[in-house]
């Protein structure tokens, strides 16, 4: 059975070649460049229309910039130049930089818990590298240094820190609706995991169900397809569908699937998990997503099945978004790792998990304030946020670690889109009392502990 | 031996078979228009398109700074003018605005009175966020004038998943409106009144 997957993957690798071979003979006609609202093709339109009197225009105005894509075909053909042993390192580096974008983001927090010690946290620094290898082949990678990388001092002891590839893919575009992707993939269960970048989020902490049941950042080695369909009447549908190593048996109450994220080195069984998401965009400002995951977590074919729904609705200055996730886990134990591995705890795995969040973000401006700021900040805004969320990482039991309800209030200042100063104050009640915590049950605020998080997030 | 779900195998096989026979279509983020292509697309019925280079003088810089809240990055702008005989059919302005990491080259077509008629992304240089090339997003700018706010999240809806690029385009188009109004429309109106006055005296 595993062999059949290998055969399918081999077919996947051969499929594009056939597509391109056919395309040589049958180039799709370009959309009409003169039609209002349509992105033009890369082909020059017919020599009709107005006479262009553009003599004397230079390129210094940025009107004819160095272009990616088709206009760079000649440069792409020079790709071999980079591989020529006769070129110097400097020449090769220049050729790489010419087609490669380097950017990234960072996040630095200040945390004040109700009980315990306040602390600064260098939460994450992520370097993003994107490169257009050719017109239809590109690669993208995120390298993350969490808690400033390694070594990490925890409880007074130096230990290994985290420097990892959160995302590292190579895409081969067969058609707009069919892109073949391979590498370390962001697992498309829900929207948060796909859009977890700190500068894009309005609250500093990730939703509690989306660090545990959907263990953001959830990344796995695998292959698959993604693409987008234009349904007409302004409606779109996009999808992602992958085969990945998938979750292993380290499934626990409290952490949920966080410890079970698959290895990028080895799978713990022959089963390859299948995961996908379909998103329907009936309007520009409305997205409805449905995701599913299925895969064996141990060597006895006990499975995790997960379903997630997400919605994002933007109404002028108000964003309304939320997600809900349910996971059904076959009865089993934390085992199946090589003999002697401390991962074989033989603990029972939870058989059900449930979580959700609902969030509202309202953007507003105080005109006199922004007018008084330096020039480049006058387009900024404030954002007020409210989020309510719950997680239950074992639906059979109520525990302090596994059950929580949280209410978060946030206020952000964003002088520019890529820079944001966040303030968040949350109340969290857990299941220590033996009752499932809810905002509307009992004395939520009396039974909660509060935490303040200040955070600076930036994109570069 | 683990049995994989048959429907999944079938789905994968169908996908691969379809992939192997479909002709590809160019849809990568990148170049959508060169300048000549854009001008022909903007003004297909005009006789000719020429251009004016306009160097901002200090008073124009002050006016623009007051309108926009910041000083435009360039000292010199090129405004394209479409003509049929002596009649002005419209204007176009090409400019850059920084997106997430890279500049986005965009163009705005204006009516002879300075109303936005069309917005196009000419070059998108990043691998992600090119949803702003979606016609649903770009169509929002049509009809905008200097009286409109043209601000993402107010009168311009932001594309889900392309927040920063959406905001960048709103900033860029707002600047383009101000530039065309202050550098072309208003000076032309003043010149017209002066000609009218001179004709009356004559």
Per-residue pLDDT, A374: 86
B3 band by pLDDT with thresholds 50, 70 and 90:
very low
Nearest CB to B69; choose among A69, A281, A375: A375
Give the residue, A308 or B161, on which the prediction is more confident: A308
Indicate if the pLDDT at residue A150 is higher than 50.
Answer: yes
The verdict on a CB contact (< 8 Å) between B34 and A8 is no
Which of A7-11, A417-421, B34-38, B104-108 is least confident? Answer: A7-11
| Residue pLDDT, tens place only, A30-76 | 333 333 333 333 334 445 789 998 887 764 444 444 433 333 444 44
Whether B46 and A51 have beta carbons less than 8 Å apart is answered as no
Instruction: Tell me the percentage of chain A whose pLDDT exceeds 70.
Output: 82
Per-residue pLDDT, B19: 42
A39 touches chain B (CB under 8 A): yes
Contact residues, A window 409-428, toward B, CB-based 8 Å cutoff = 417-418
Whole-number mean pLDDT of chain A? 84
Indicate if the pLDDT at residue B18 is higher than 70.
Answer: no
* Residues of chain A with C-beta less than 8 angstroms from the C-beta of B20: 11, 14-15, 18-19
Nearest CB to B2; choose among A69, A270, A381: A270
Distance CA B12, CA B108 (A): 43
Nearest CB to B153; choose among A34, A316, A378: A316
Residue whose structure tokens are 């799978």 = A267
The verdict on a CB contact (< 8 Å) between A173 and B24 is yes
Contact residues, A window 218-237, toward B, CB-based 8 Å cutoff = 225, 234, 236
Indicate if the pLDDT at residue A1 is higher than 60.
Answer: no
DSSP 8-state symbol, A314: E
| Residue pLDDT, tens place only, A336-349 | 888 888 889 999 99
Per-residue pLDDT, A48: 75
Nearest CB to A101; choose among B102, B161, B167: B102
Nearest CB to B49; choose among A14, A52, A284: A52
Beta-strand relationship, A51-52 and B48-55: parallel
Instruction: Tell me the percentage of chain A whose pLDDT exceeds 90.
Output: 61
Per-residue pLDDT, A72: 42
A369 CB-side CA count, 13 A: 9
Nearest CB to A176; choose among B25, B46, B137: B25
Contact residues, A window 175-214, toward B, CB-based 8 Å cutoff = 175-176, 178, 180, 195, 200
Nearest CB to B16; choose among A12, A176, A285: A12
Whole-number mean pLDDT of chain B? 82
B57 CB-side CA count, 13 A: 4
The verdict on a CB contact (< 8 Å) between A45 and B37 is yes
Residue A35 CA to its chain's centroid (Å):
35
Contact residues, A window 300-359, toward B, CB-based 8 Å cutoff = 301, 312, 314, 316-317
| Residue pLDDT, tens place only, A200-242 | 899 999 999 999 999 999 999 999 999 999 898 879 999 999 9
Q: What mean pLDDT is predicted for residues A296-319?
A: 94
Contact residues, B window 109-168, toward A, CB-based 8 Å cutoff = 118, 120-121, 123, 125-128, 133-140, 151, 153-154, 157-161, 163-164, 167-168
Q: How far is B31 from chain A (nearest CA, A)?
A: 6
Distance CA B55, CA B109 (A): 20
Max Cα-Cα span within chain A: 79
Per-residue pLDDT, A79: 62
Indicate if the pLDDT at residue B6 is higher than 80.
Answer: no
Q: What mean pLDDT is predicted for residues A393-409?
A: 97
Q: What mean pLDDT is predicted for residues A1-19?
A: 43
Give the residue, A33 or A8, on which the prediction is more confident: A8
The verdict on a CB contact (< 8 Å) between B153 and A370 is no
- Which residues, in sequence order, are bridge partners of residue A386? A360, A409
Per-residue pLDDT, B197: 67
The verdict on a CB contact (< 8 Å) between A285 and B8 is no
Q: How far is B131 from chain A (nearest CA, A)?
A: 10
- The residues near A296 (Cβ < 8 Å, ≥ 6 apart) are A246, A269, A271, A273, A302, A303, A304, B2
A61 touches chain B (CB under 8 A): yes
Indicate if the pLDDT at residue B27 is higher than 50.
Answer: no
DSSP 8-state symbol, A252: B
Q: Summarize chain A as % helix, strand, coil (round to 5).
A: 15, 45, 40
Indicate if the pLDDT at residue A29 is higher than 80.
Answer: no
| Residue pLDDT, tens place only, B117-165 | 999 999 888 767 778 888 889 999 999 999 999 988 788 988 877 888 8
Which of A77-86, A281-290, A449-458, B122-131 is least confident? Answer: A77-86
Distance CA A414, CA A395 (A): 39
Q: What mean pLDDT is predicted for residues A79-91?
A: 69
DSSP 8-state symbol, A415: E
B66 band by pLDDT with thresholds 50, 70 and 90:
confident
Distance CA A64, CA A35 (A): 22
Cα distances (Å, whole numbers) of residue A280 to A2, A173, A232, A235, A284: 33, 21, 12, 8, 10
Give the residue, B126 or B104, on which the prediction is more confident: B104
Q: Report the SS3 class of residue A154.
A: strand
A16 touches chain B (CB under 8 A): yes
Per-residue pLDDT, A83: 66
- Which residues, in sequence order, are bridge partners of residue A58? none
Indicate if the pLDDT at residue A11 is higher than 80.
Answer: no
Indicate if the pLDDT at residue A108 is higher than 60.
Answer: yes
Q: What mean pLDDT is predicted for residues A97-110?
A: 86
Per-residue pLDDT, B198: 66
| DSSP state letters, B40-88 | HHH-TT-SEEEEEEEEPPHHHHHHHHHHHSS--S-SEEEEEEEEETTEE
Q: How far is B12 from chain A (nearest CA, A)?
A: 7
Q: What mean pLDDT is predicted for residues A139-159?
A: 90
| DSSP state letters, A345-359 | --PBPPSEEEEEEEE
Residue whose structure tokens are 């003169």 = A34
Indicate if the pLDDT at residue B43 is higher than 70.
Answer: yes
Q: What mean pLDDT is predicted for residues B53-68?
A: 90
Distance CA A258, CA A274 (A): 18
The verdict on a CB contact (< 8 Å) between B5 and A294 is yes
Contact residues, A window 74-93, toward B, CB-based 8 Å cutoff = none
In terms of Cα–Cα distance, which of A237, A263, A233, A226 is closest to A248? A263
Q: How far is B105 from chain A (nearest CA, A)?
A: 8
How buried is A276 (Cβ within 10 angstroms: 0-12 exposed, 13-18 middle, 19+ buried)? buried
Most confident of A83-87, B163-167, B176-180: B176-180
Whether A281 and A236 have beta carbons less than 8 Å apart is answered as yes
């Amino acid at each position: 059975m595993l062999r059949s997957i290998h055969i399918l993957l081999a077919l996947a690798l051969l499929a594009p070649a056939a597509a391109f071979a056919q395309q040589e003979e049958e180039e799709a006609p370009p959309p009409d460049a003169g039609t209002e609202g349509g992105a033009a093709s890369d082909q020059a339109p017919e020599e009709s229309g107005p006479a262009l009197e553009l003599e004397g225009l230079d390129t210094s105005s940025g009107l004819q910039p160095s272009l990616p894509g088709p206009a760079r075909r000649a440069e792409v053909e020079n790709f071999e130049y980079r591989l020529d042993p006769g070129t110097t390192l400097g020449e090769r580096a220049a050729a790489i930089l010419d087609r490669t974008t380097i950017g990234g983001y960072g996040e630095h927090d200040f945390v004040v818990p109700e009980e315990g010690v306040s602390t600064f946290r260098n939460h994450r620094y992520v370097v993003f590298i994107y490169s257009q290898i050719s017109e239809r082949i590109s690669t993208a990678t995120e390298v993350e240094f969490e808690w400033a990388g390694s070594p990490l001092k925890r409880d007074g002891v130096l230990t290994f820190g985290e420097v990892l590839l959160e995302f590292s893919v190579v895409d081969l575009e067969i058609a707009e609706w069919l892109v073949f992707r391979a590498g370390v993939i962001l697992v498309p269960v829900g929207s948060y995991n796909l859009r977890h970048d700190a500068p894009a989020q309005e609250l500093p902490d990730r939703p509690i169900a989306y660090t545990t049941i959907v263990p953001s950042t959830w990344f796995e080695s695998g292959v698959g397809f993604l693409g987008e369909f234009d349904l007409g009447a302004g409606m779109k549908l996009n999808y992602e569908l992958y085969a990945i190593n998938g979750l292993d048996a380290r499934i626990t109450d409290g952490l949920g699937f966080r410890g079970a994220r698959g290895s990028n080195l080895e799978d713990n069984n022959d089963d390859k998990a299948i995961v996908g998401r379909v998103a329907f965009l009936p309007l520009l400002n409305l997205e409805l997503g449905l995701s599913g995951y299925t895969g064996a977590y141990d060597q006895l074919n006990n499975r995790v099945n997960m379903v997630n729904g997400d919605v994002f609705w933007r109404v002028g200055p108000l964003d309304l978004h939320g997600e809900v996730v349910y996971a059904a886990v076959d009865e089993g134990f934390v085992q199946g790792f090589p003999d002697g591995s401390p991962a074989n705890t033989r603990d029972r795995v939870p058989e059900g998990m449930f979580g959700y969040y609902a969030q509202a973000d309202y953007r507003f401006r105080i005109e006199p304030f922004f007018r008084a700021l330096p020039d480049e900040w006058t387009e900024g805004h404030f954002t007020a946020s409210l989020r309510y969320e719950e997680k239950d990482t074992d639906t059979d039991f109520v525990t302090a670690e596994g059950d929580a309800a949280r209410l978060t209030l946030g206020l952000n200042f964003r002088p520019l889109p890529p820079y944001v100063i966040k303030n968040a104050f949350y109340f969290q009640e857990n299941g220590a009392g033996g009752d499932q915590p809810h905002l509307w049950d009992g004395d939520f605020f009396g039974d909660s502990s509060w935490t303040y998080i200040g955070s600076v997030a930036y994109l570069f | 031996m683990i049995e994989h779900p048959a429907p999944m195998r079938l789905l994968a096989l169908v996908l691969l078979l379809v992939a192997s026979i479909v002709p590809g279509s160019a849809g990568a983020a990148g170049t959508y228009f060169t300048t000549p292509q854009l001008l022909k697309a903007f003004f297909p019925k005009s006789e000719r398109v020429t251009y004016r280079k306009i160097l901002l003088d200090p008073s124009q810089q002050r006016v623009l700074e007051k309108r926009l809240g910041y000083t435009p990055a360039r000292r010199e702008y090129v405004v394209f003018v479409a003509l049929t005989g002596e009649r002005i059919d419209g204007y176009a302005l090409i400019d850059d605005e920084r997106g997430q990491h890279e500049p986005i080259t965009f163009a705005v077509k204006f009516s002879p009175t300075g109303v936005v008629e069309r917005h196009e992304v000419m070059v998108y240089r990043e691998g992600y966020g090119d949803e702003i090339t979606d016609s649903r997003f770009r169509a929002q700018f049509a009809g905008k004038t200097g009286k409109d706010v043209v601000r993402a999240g107010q009168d311009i809806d932001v594309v889900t998943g392309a927040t920063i690029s959406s905001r960048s385009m709103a900033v860029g188009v707002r600047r383009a409106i101000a530039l065309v109004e202050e550098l072309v429309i208003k000076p032309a109106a003043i010149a017209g009144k002066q000609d009218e006055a001179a004709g009356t005296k004559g």
